[in-house]
Chains A and B, each alone.
Chain A
């Protein structure tokens, strides 16, 4: 009996684990449903990807994938080549009931693709300027921009000449990115919508004026700069203040300026650059205070520290009286008289003396 109950529970467990579900896929293009379209299916379970058999959509662009495991850790990715463009779906949970797979055709022209925003955040770190740079690329067409057919390059840009210690970030795939000198080539297709590419690099702080040059293969519509002070913004562009944002745990203001779809943005960062600490201004502050002190403080009056002339003269009179009263010897008198006369000398030195 005990064995029977055990087998029963084991069977129930296996059945629940092996329960299968069906996923309905709707293929759509900008023109409508896409019928008779071949779709490759990839099943991802616990991080490992298994290709599955390809299937074709029906005349209404519908496709049913059955026999998928219903566990929450299984995902499906669809791939379909539509009018020359490789379309990939999002990660679809296998236990979903339906999904619309949007297909876009290929486009070799970049007319509708531009850099919507070139975002920069510049801050001082250990005597260098650390620049966080993000390209927001917007493909407004209903097609996938495939780039140059020969090289596959869809987007390229140039870093400022002074840049070093470059670290690629979000959106860059090492196998699809090429760096030649200070130019970076992006070789992935750009689908409709927005694409975010970010990287970081350092610049030397030393010059008081630093020219920054950004070149792009796509027109740049807007440039945004996150900084702690408006006074540090380059004057050659018309900046408007946006919302505050947090960059590396610091709250910074974001300023934006239109760049009229230029392929190159060029500006100077003037003054001691961004994020200068108070301690670095301290010597200048001390210098300022000392200069003001030199201008406004009166010169020391040492006359005030001397015994008054009258008291010295009185002392001489007293010495004379003490000598006459034989309270002082002649030597003591002369010695003390001389000491008093030496103190009196500067007070009389302005008077004309005869020789």
Chain B
């Protein structure tokens, strides 16, 4: 009985001591929303750029007609434009990025 009580209270004390650490670590592992959005956008941008490279290669190997190439390229460029716009918008809408930019410039 006494040993069970001691174990329970010991667990409580350990939890009390290390709770802030666990909380902070949990926070640290949570990627903030704008950065997560940016990560997705950069991944999408890289995918579109890769598609563009593949399309250029297909043209050189005459796998695709020049007319189709132009149409597809135009579509990819539109998608890329949209991605760049979103990246710009994300960075502009959060003071964090402006603050970091300012601090980097002041170094």
What residues of chain A have their CB less than 8 Å away from a CB belonging to chain B?
Answer: 283-284, 286-287, 290-291, 293-294, 297, 299-300, 302, 310, 313-314, 316-317, 320, 331, 334-335, 338, 341-342, 344-346, 348-349, 351-355
Contact = CB atoms under 8 A, between A and B. Distances in A.
Nearest to A343: B28
Contacts, number: 83
Contacts of B93: 354-355
Contacts of B14: 290
Contact of B95 (A310, A338, A353): A353
18 contacts: A283-B3, A287-B6, A287-B10, A290-B13, A290-B14, A297-B17, A313-B104, A313-B107, A314-B107, A316-B100, A316-B104, A341-B35, A342-B35, A346-B28, A349-B32, A351-B99, A354-B93, A355-B93
A313 B100 contact: yes
B104 to A, nearest CB: 5
A293 B10 contact: no
A287 B14 CA distance: 11
B39 A294 contact: no
Chain A binding surface, main DSSP class: helix
A168 to B, nearest CB: 35
Given A302-B21, A335-B42, A345-B32, A351 B107 contact: no
B31 interface: yes
B95 A354 contact: yes
Interface in B54-78: none
A343 B40 CA distance: 18
Given A294-B16, A345-B32, A317 B24 contact: no
Nearest to A299: B20
B30 to A, nearest CB: 10
Chain B: interface size category = 20 to 34
Interface string B12-55: 01101110110011011001100100110010001000000000
B17 A293 contact: yes
Interface of B: 2-3, 6, 9-10, 13-14, 16-18, 20-21, 24-25, 27-28, 31-32, 35, 38-39, 42, 46, 93-97, 99-100, 103-104, 107
B46 A331 contact: yes
B6 A286 contact: yes
Nearest to B17: A294
Contact of A291 (B13, B46, B96, B103): B13
A321 to B, nearest CB: 11
Given A313-B104, A338-B35, A302 B24 contact: yes
B37 to A, nearest CB: 11
A351 B100 CA distance: 12
Contact of A348 (B17, B38, B39, B96): B96
A269 B82 CA distance: 85
Nearest to B100: A344
Given A294-B16, A354-B94, 19 more contacts: A287-B9, A290-B14, A299-B17, A299-B20, A302-B24, A302-B25, A310-B107, A313-B100, A313-B104, A331-B42, A331-B46, A338-B42, A341-B35, A341-B38, A341-B96, A342-B35, A345-B35, A354-B93, A355-B94
